[in-house]
Structure 1
Amino acid sequence: MDDANLLQGIVGSTAYGLAGPDSDVDRLGLFAAPTIRLLGLHTPAESRVSKAPDVTRHEAAKYCRLALGGNPTVSELMWLPAELYEVRTELGDELIGIRTAFLSAKRIRDAYLGYATQQFRRLEHRGDGTFSSDTARRTAKHARHLLRLCWQGRHLYRTGELLIRLEDPRPFRDFGERVAAGDIDLARRTLAEYEAGFDAIRSPLPDQPDEEVVERWLLRVRRAHYDVR
């Protein structure tokens, strides 16, 4: 029995509406390894990464652990616009149906601000804007994603809904260009403002995710993909 691809879609800049002419098309998916293979001495790899096309796939249990931790990249697979899904199965649709079970206030706040801070740390080492055009493009990209993570995370923290497609990408592009031109303080101030903004919100999200709901889904996956051979 082979791995079963349960859900896959186009994520990243293309999904956000931030892709440029040189942007790669990133795909994310999750698969179920045959249950019997998880019980032996040598268990299968939990993640598979391929290039051309760029596809990252996580085994169902690892996917659940990452999503329960609030991982922004992983979580967006459950919230994509319908047209961005390339593989949808019954179990994949069930996962989408329980996506709110993965949410918790503290983990969402920590994960989104944490990933945004990682983008800022990259910006801090870019200098004063007097670098190559290639470095400037990467700097603008990091800045765009810093703002995007802050914006998405705050909306999710405030409403319980993760918005993937940005209604107007222009402010994010403009922000990236300003930071790439040397305005690192803009990125620093923006991150601080969003941190304060999170603190001012009374989130409707629970203190802890609903792991029982997630566990029941994962056990359905295991039963559906048990291989007796």
Structure 2
Amino acid sequence: MSTAPGTVLLSGIVGSTAYGLAHAGSDVDRLGVFAAPTEDIHGLHRPAESHVTTAPDRTLHEAAKWCRLALAGNPTAAELVWLPDELYEVRTPLGEELIAIRGSFLGARAVRSAYLGYATQQLRKLRTRDTSDPVTRARAAKHARHLVRLLDQAVHLHESGRNLVRLPDAGRVRDLGERIVEDPARAERLLAAAAERLDRPGVLPDRPDERPADAWLRRVRAAHWTHRPPDTQA
């Protein structure tokens, strides 16, 4: 595994493996949160906030960036704190604290906007695929599966307050994905039905509570501050 850009606080296997949709040829995707050295953040040039590698497939977000993504309802970032226990590969005490406050990142507006937005993107991508070609048809089916998965997760979040990362019926999602490839209008009906349910009263607050994230991030900064005397000229 490649060198981390800072201290990894929380990391795990995400994507199709986490959803239960992986097959023999699926990639194994990893996502994590890291803390940059606090003193580096105060310099003229801030450290990169995300690091992406392809061997292995891994994305690491700096703690502050991950918090911003999660507070905005980003489905990909948010799933990190809702993984089944066996999929975590790094769980530091600060990572455990982040899992403990995961509910505070949820807000009804952000969930509706982000999840419906990502699902709509999958539909647009699906429509660009030539389904007469086996390779591009397989990609279209993948877009369709993720569309169904995103809508299921959005409704479950809205109605229960919990993120359903591991799908309870992966076979249904696969079958429905194949039917959507044959008839993309099914996806439009699914989107409309999900939007209607998301417009009903749910259990989530209108907006997330930023205070726990802010307090956690301050603890991260304090824990990763190493005082170094300033350079002096001879």
Alignment length (residue pairs): 224
2:196 paired residue number: 196
What is the rounded CA distance, in whole Å, between the counterparts of 1:47 and 1:190 in structure 2?
33
Q: Contact conserved, 1:105 with 1:206, CA < 8 A, in 2?
A: yes
Equivalence map 1:1-229=2 (5 Å): 3-127=6-130, 129-130=131-132, 132-180=133-181, 182-199=182-199, 201-229=200-228
User: How far off its partner does 1:195 sit?
Assistant: 1.3
What is the rounded CA distance, in whole Å, between the counterparts of 2:118 and 2:16 in structure 1?
16
User: How far off its partner does 1:175 sit?
Assistant: 1.3
What is the rounded CA distance, in whole Å, between the counterparts of 2:178 and 2:107 in structure 1?
33
What is the rounded CA distance, in whole Å, between the counterparts of 1:79 and 1:178 in structure 2?
29
TM-score by length of 1: 0.95
Identity %: 58
Gaps of 5+ in 1: none
TM-score by length of 2: 0.93
Q: Contact conserved, 1:139 with 1:179, CA < 8 A, in 2?
A: no
Which amino acid letter does the alignment assign opposite residue 141 of structure 1?
Answer: K
Gaps of 5+ in 2: 229-234
User: How far off its partner does 1:123 sit?
Assistant: 1.4
Write out per-residue CA displacement over residues 170-223 of structure 1, whole angstroms, 9 at most, x where no aligned residue.
11101122223x311111211111112212x31111122111111000000000
User: How far off its partner does 1:117 sit?
Assistant: 0.6
SS of the residue corresponding to residue 41 of structure 1 reads coil
Q: Contact conserved, 1:8 with 1:30, CA < 8 A, in 2?
A: yes
SS of the residue corresponding to residue 70 of structure 1 reads coil
CA RMSD of aligned residues (A): 1.0
